[in-house]
Chain A
Amino acid sequence: MSRHVVAPVSEFPPGTRRCVVLEGRRIALFNVGGRYFGLLDRCPHQGGPLSEGVLTGLVEAGAPGDYSFSRPGEILRCPWHGWEFDLATGESRFDPRRHRTRAFRVSAKPAEELRAETVPVRVEEDYVVVET
């Protein structure tokens, strides 16, 4: 596992997203209400750029017509054909086991923890870190 500093927390506010290339792979990063998520930016279907997808919630129904909406902002719909992915796991909604994209751990870390790595960090900041 390696860790990659992406940005100072202050530059990656809630409600924003960005795309980074780490070790040759493009990864889509999201800050949803202060929680960070990362997905491989390539839809397992036809390769659509997930970083351009819309964030929505989980629509379910126990019975026909009985719509419920939960987990707002945590489901990503691919910008092309609309497959839904769980931001936390990368699993598709329609077939979580067989169709999924890779999810990465993304978190905010204090600069001290990152000292050991060869990135210029300032002590007074926390940083968003992706683990690959």
Chain B
Amino acid sequence: MTTEVLERPSGESAAEAALRIADCDIHPSPKLLEREIYPFLEKRWQRHMERYGARPRQPFLNGPAYPKGQPDAARRDAYPPAGGRPGSDLAFMREQHLDPNNVGFGVLNPLKSGQGLQNLDFADAYCRAINDWQIAFWTREEPRLKASIVIPYEDAAASVREIERCAGEEDYVQVFMLNRTAEPMGQRRYWPIYDAAAAAGLPLAVHAFGFGGAPITGSGWPSYYIEDMTGHAQSSQAVLTSMIFEGVFDRLPGLRMVLIESGFAWLPALCWRLDRVWMRMRDELHRCTRRPSEIVREQVFLTTQPMEEPGRPRQLVECIDWIGWDRLLFATDYPHWDFDQPDRVLPSWVDVEKRRAFFTDNALRVYGRQMP
């Protein structure tokens, strides 16, 4: 009889997977603003933060008005043993996630970044600080991790300046926005951002969440966090519709867009609908010259998480068949609670070619990188 008391389970099963994977949605946090962010933030903005706080277009200074299901929206096992917020300790991230899950390429998507703040000057300064922080505290230390250029997207001119400032640095792999913007994302106030991203050869990444100010449903604000969470898929559908119908992809045929953290199973039905509507009202949509589904097949990618979970996993595979196995980029959302565990997300009978595309190759192709 053997009895062994363990401190903490390790993720041995995933490490056995032979495939080195790309994880296109990892959320880093600073340990302490004063130590990690302030060095990159002008004194006056440090003072502003202390006196006025961040103030996005939502009620609370700290935390959302839809309280999360668990603290920090994090996996409960993701708190670093040495203290700090989930996602704030690189050593622990390696130990808990990157190593056991065999992540060879990981994209950092900072969320508390200054995006969507009411004060545009502060948003601009804060985004710059977050960008510098990602390089200094993360990508320099860990070559598997890559950074996102976060931009104060409600101010297109400042956003363009920031894209141009950062684009020369190899470690940035995408321009990063949140999907709940003040107006639908295809509208022309945002176009300079897309021009700059295309000019820099960087994909435009659009992550769920954000504080645009509009109610998150067409009937106003719903009551519950579960509605907020399921609503991200609707926001992403609206974003994609706007980008297509406003002709952004026609203006910039080289632009690639990556939709992050809204799942993906909604895409086929949306494309069928958009194709029909586009056919019917082409004369209204004069900027959109190609069939929406064709634009999606050429210029749009989606990260997988949180993967929809039909009772019959076969149906999800059929849904991916509709989308195409070259469109999806695997993502875990580490360290958040709706994390997807790589060795559990596809049925075992999906063949190795499709797995490679899904877990690795699509991401490397979109980001134009090799495994480090």
Contacts and interface: CB of A to CB of B under 8 A. Distances in A.
Interface of A: 2, 4-7, 18-22, 26, 41, 45-49, 51-54, 77, 79-82, 117-119
Contacts of A48: 75, 77, 341
Secondary structure at the B interface, as helix, strand, loop or mixed, is loop
B77 A49 contact: yes
A21 B6 contact: yes
Nearest to B338: A81
B62 interface: no
Interface string B334-346: 0001111101110
B138 to A, nearest CB: 24
B17 to A, nearest CB: 13
A51 B5 CA distance: 12
Given A47-B13, A47-B344, A54-B70, A79 B76 contact: yes
Contact of A81 (B4, B9, B337): B337
Contacts, number: 67
Contact of B339 (A19, A26, A80): A80
B212 to A, nearest CB: 27
A79 B13 CA distance: 18
Interface in B250-297: none
Contacts of B5: 6-7, 18-20
Nearest to A23: B2
B72 to A, nearest CB: 12
Contact of A19 (B2, B6, B340, B344): B6
Contact of A46 (B9, B76, B341): B341
B69 interface: yes
A49 B3 contact: no
Contacts of B4: 20-21
Nearest to B311: A98
B77 to A, nearest CB: 4
A81 B9 CA distance: 17
Nearest to A79: B76
A117 B340 CA distance: 43
A119 B2 CA distance: 10
A56 B341 CA distance: 24
Contact of B77 (A2, A52, A81): A52
Interface in B346-372: none
Given A52-B8, A53-B76, 18 more contacts: A2-B1, A4-B1, A4-B3, A19-B5, A19-B9, A20-B3, A20-B6, A21-B6, A22-B3, A26-B6, A47-B13, A48-B77, A48-B341, A51-B9, A79-B75, A80-B337, A80-B341, A82-B70
15 contacts: A5-B1, A5-B3, A18-B5, A19-B9, A21-B3, A26-B6, A45-B344, A47-B341, A48-B77, A53-B76, A77-B70, A79-B75, A81-B339, A82-B69, A117-B1
A61 B6 CA distance: 38
Contact of A21 (B2, B337, B343): B2
A94 to B, nearest CB: 12
A26 B338 CA distance: 23
- Going nearest first, the 3 A-B pairs with the smallest beta carbon separation are A79-B76, A52-B77, A46-B341
A41 B9 CA distance: 9
A54 B9 contact: no
A46 B340 contact: yes
Contacts of A41: 9
Given A47-B341, A54-B70, A117-B1, A80 B75 contact: yes
Interface-centre pick from B76, B340, B343 (highest chain A CB count, 10 A): B76
Nearest to A21: B4
Contacts of A119: 1
A6 B70 contact: no
A4 B4 CA distance: 11
B196 to A, nearest CB: 38
B360 to A, nearest CB: 20
A79 B77 contact: yes
Contact of B9 (A6, A26, A45, A117): A26
Contacts of A20: 3-6
A75 B28 CA distance: 31
A82 B344 contact: no
A82 B337 contact: yes
A77 B76 CA distance: 10
Nearest to A28: B9
A121 B13 CA distance: 35
B169 to A, nearest CB: 34
Contacts of B6: 19-21, 26
Contacts of B339: 80-81
